[in-house]
Chain A
Amino acid sequence: MDKVKVIGVIVIIAGVITAGFVMGDFLPAIGDINSAPNGYLSVYYITNALHDTEAPNMVTAVLADYRGFDTLFETCVMFLAGVTTLMVLSSKRKVVKGKRNEHDLNGVSFGGTVLDTGFRIIIPVIVIYAFYVLSHGEISLGGGFQAGALLAIAYMIDRLIPSFQNSLGNFTEEAAAIIAGLGVFIYAFTGVLPMFNGGYFLEYDHLPFAFMTEEIVMLHSVGIFMIEAGVTVCVMGTIINILEVVLERTEFDD
């Protein structure tokens, strides 16, 4: 067994190094002007992204606006991952459902005074930072995925430290899966809304909020914020779902 591991590691390292030397001649360097993606598409994004979408962060502009259809199905993939985990892992439950809450509180051996106090201080900061990342996502770093993951981290800490007694509430895994599905619904509904107003799917120019803003470009900001909120809810629900499913199957006996 061990010999197989050694041989495998050697083969993989040799293969990666050889492939690096071989491919190094074919692959373009980072930022090479003559490579295919930098030919016309990047130039178009760089010159027009701010004007088209009102989003100073170009990554958000491309992900949520130009490539919004791709991001919709990436969100669907997240949701499907959570639902698949629920289907596969929840078939054999080790813990009886009625006793579960008390069992988890007694069993988990994280904790201690220093850890508790530290996390008490840090959880509100994490939640505030998550909402900052969500609402500021089109201007600086971040966006829906990161905000949802930060919210899920806050929930995870709350769930795993026993003396907190689940002050943020206690999701069942089915509820978490429903929340994830709600996120996908928000995204898809944002896509459908312009169709009532004479536009195409996910065409933010035709969102029916024109009475709120003077300029038509600001509708892009509204649309980007709505789909990022959907992605946030979906990611948070999926991560909490997987956490709850795994906790359901785990016995904490020590």
Chain B
Amino acid sequence: MPVILLEAYFLLILIAIAIVVIFHKDLLAVTVIYCAFSFVAMVLYILVGAADVAFTEAVIGVISTVYFIIAIKSISRRCK
């Protein structure tokens, strides 16, 4: 039962991070916060028991962050 509570807690964190990502104006900050999204999703996968998927999520979180940062460098950092 405590595992399910922990999952609910991490799911709420996921929703909060998603809302911040939508509404924040600074795209670089959004990218860093999206790292936290990736990390929390990884912890969730480990809790569910899918360690392989968690490993993939950790690696892909790094790669997508690098892609986002390169993309931000070619556009304006602030969004309207």
Q: A81: CB under 8 A from chain B? A: no
Cβ–Cβ contact B52 & A142, under 8 A: yes
Distance in Å: Cβ of B53 to nearest Cβ of chain A: 9
Question: What residues of chain A have their CB less than 8 Å away from a CB belonging to chain B?
Answer: 5, 9, 13, 30, 57, 59, 141-143, 145-146, 149-150, 152-153, 156, 160, 239, 242-243, 246-247, 249-252, 254
Contact B22 A251 (CB under 8 A): no
Question: In the complex, what residue of chain A is closest to B53 when comparing beta carbons?
Answer: A59
Q: Which residues of A contact B23 (CB under 8 A)?
A: 5
CB pair A153 B22 closer than 8 Å: no
| In the complex, chain A residues whose CB is within 8 Å of the CB of B32 | none
**Across-interface contacts of A141 in B (CB, < 8 A):** 51-52, 55
- A239 with B15: in contact, given A141-B55, A252-B73 (CB under 8 Å)? no
Evaluate contact between A146 and B74: CB separation under 8 angstroms. Answer: no
Q: Is the CB of B66 within 8 A of A243?
A: yes
Give chain B interface residues in 1-56, CB to chain A under 8 Å: 15, 19, 22-23, 48-49, 51-52, 55-56
Contact B67 A153 (CB under 8 A): no
**Is the beta-carbon distance between A249 and B59 smaller than 8 angstroms?**
no
| A9-B22, A243-B66, A243-B67 known; A150-B59 Cβ under 8 A | yes
Q: Shortest Cβ distance from B4 into chain A, in angstroms?
A: 10
Q: How far apart are the CA atoms of A242 and B66 in the complex, in Å?
A: 11
Determine the distance from Cα of A7 to Cα of B62 in the docked complex, in whole angstroms.
31
CB pair B60–A250 under 8 Å, yes or no, is: no
Q: Which residues of B contact A239 (CB under 8 A)?
A: 63
Distance (whole angstroms) from the CB of B34 to the closest CB of chain A: 16
- Whether A251 lies near B59 (C-beta < 8 A) is no
Q: Are A146 and B73 in contact (CB under 8 A)?
A: no
Q: Are B66 and A156 in contact (CB under 8 A)?
A: yes
- What's the least CB distance linking B14 to chain A, in Å? 11
**A142 engages B63 (CB within 8 Å):** no
A250 touches B73 (CB 8 A): yes
> Which residues of chain B come closer than 8 Å to A156, judged between CB atoms?
63, 66
B63 touches A149 (CB 8 A): yes
Q: Contacts of B67 on A, CB cut-off 8 Å?
A: 242-243, 246
* Interface contact B70-A250, CB-CB below 8 Å: yes
What chain A residues lie within 8 Å of B55 (beta carbons)?
Answer: 141-142, 146
